Amino acid sequence: MGRKWNNIKEKKASKDANTSRIYAKFGREIYVVAKQGEPDPEANQALKFVLERAKTYNVPKAIIERAIEKAKGGGEENYDEMRYEGFGPNGSMIIVDALTNNVNRTAPEVRAAFGKNGGNMGVSGSVAYMFDATAVIGIEGKSSDEVLEILMEADVDARDIIEEGDAVIVYAEPDQFHVVQEALKQAGIEEFTVAELTMLAQNDINLDPESQEQFEKLIDALEDLEDVQQVYHNVDLG
């Protein structure tokens, strides 16, 4: 697997000096999932997952509580989940997930970000078939062999377990996210460096320096859009 998940997370978190952009996106996502189901994470698995992700990005408790309270109060804002697919330079493929209260605003903004940065939007399904939905969970303080033993003793399957620097990254089926995490918690692991449900490219590609620079500008432009929550791609950025 060509990804360095801890590096990716750190890059995203350091992009804005005060990380306000990331906090705002989490606030929106927490509000949506809390409003769609119960505002209690123990009764709402989707909310529980988002809160686990938020912890790995150090989202302040006040932002989390504000979003949940807003959902409890029956906030009037309604959001649609949208997925856009497209292409960047030299065979790069991109999936963009958004939460929007105005589809007529979001689609043109995403299309413009592609067009102004060397890419173009595709039709639904033009890219997604080259990606697999995957749970990614990262921890520190254990070896890959120790993590494998923990999961085997708990009778939990994982696609792959890889050491990345000081971290061990577990790749699993999406429906195994909470099962893997619970097995690790039962083994005394309390902190997770990564806790993501992602779209993982079946094959990563490498770009030449010029194309990679253009590609990174495209990704930045997409991630900077207010309605965009997640951007997935098939480029190994190292």
Can you give the CATH number for the domain in which 29 is found? 1.10.10.200
Residues 100 and 66 in one domain: no
Residues 10 and 29 in one domain: yes
- Residue 19 is predicted with a pLDDT of 77
Residues 119 and 209 in one domain: yes
Residues 213 and 125 in one domain: yes
Q: How many domains does the chain have?
A: 3
Residues 185 and 137 in one domain: yes
Whole-structure pTM over 0.85, yes or no?
yes
CB-neighbour burial class of residue 19 (10 A; exposed 0-12, middle 13-18, buried 19+):
middle
Strands 167-172 vs 120-121: parallel, antiparallel or unpaired? unpaired
Would you say residue 173 lies in a domain?
yes
Say how many CA atoms lie within 13 Å of 196 toward its Cβ. 22
Residues 9 and 58 in one domain: yes
Would you say residue 238 lies in a domain?
no
Q: Which domain holds residue 195?
A: 131-201
Q: What is the pLDDT along the chain (238 residues), one digit of tens a residue?
A: 545 665 555 555 555 545 788 899 999 999 999 998 888 888 998 999 999 989 988 899 999 999 999 988 877 788 999 999 999 999 899 999 999 999 999 999 999 999 999 999 999 999 999 999 999 999 999 999 999 999 999 999 999 999 988 889 999 999 999 999 999 999 999 899 889 999 999 999 999 999 999 999 999 999 999 999 999 999 987 6
Would you say residue 219 lies in a domain?
yes
CATH at residue 186 = 3.30.70.980
- Residue 4 is predicted with a pLDDT of 61
Measured CA to CA, the distance from residue 75 to residue 224 in angstroms comes to 25
Tell which of 51, 72, 93 closes a domain: 72
